[in-house]
Amino acid sequence: MERMLTSEELAQKAVEAKSKGLPTYSNFHVGAALLAESGKIYLGANIETSSYSLTICAERTAVFQAIINGERKFKSIAIASDAEDFCPPCGACRQVLLDLCGKELEVILVNKKNELKTFLLKELIPHSFSGEFLK
Ligand code: THU
């Protein structure tokens, strides 16, 4: 079996993914690297359209890419941007990550100096709505 990546290695993948997006209007580049339990990594980057609300964040492009490739279990996601500070996932992405990756997902934020800050998803979206309510 392949060796699992370190947080620093996954963070580096998120940094590399930043350049793959199309943040045409905000020019704010975000990259994401999602590590599945299979050991595979799925990259994401934000893509914007002229109708701004149709924009999709880096985190969601990574998750959807993983899902259509058959992945259902995930370990960690790293998120990088060009901001000085750590760029946390937006509210919509927190909900999507919760529903598709689970509350134990490790969320690794990477700042401009390549420093890391790690959370569990359940810390970022407490008191959450979930599919449990729909059963
Ligand atoms: N963005 C992300 O890709 N992820 C986040 O969690 C925060 C925001 C993108 C969306 C948009 O393209 C740009 O950043 C500015 O909001």
Model pLDDT, residue 131: 94
> Known catalytic residue: 59?
yes
20 falls in which pLDDT band (50, 70, 90)?
Answer: very high
CB atoms within 10 A of CB 118: 13
Nearest to 60 by CA among 12, 94, 35: 94
4 falls in which pLDDT band (50, 70, 90)?
Answer: confident
Q: pLDDT digits over 90-121, tens only?
A: 999 999 999 999 999 999 999 999 999 999 99
Reported pTM: 0.96
Pocket of ligand 1, candidates 28, 64, 65, 96: which has the most ligand atoms within 8 Å of its Cβ, to mutate?
Answer: 28
* Ligand 1 binding pocket includes 30 (Cβ within 6 Å): yes
CB atoms within 10 A of CB 106: 17
Residue closest via CA to ligand 1's atom 6 equals 89
DSSP string for 1-67: -PPPPPHHHHHHHHHHHGGGSB-TTT---EEEEEEETTS-EEEEE-B--SSGGG-B-HHHHHHHHHH
What tokens does 7 get?
A: 């947080």
Distance 111 CA to ligand 1 centre (A): 15
Q: How far is CA 56 from the centre of its chain?
A: 12
Distance 87 CA to ligand 1 centre (A): 9
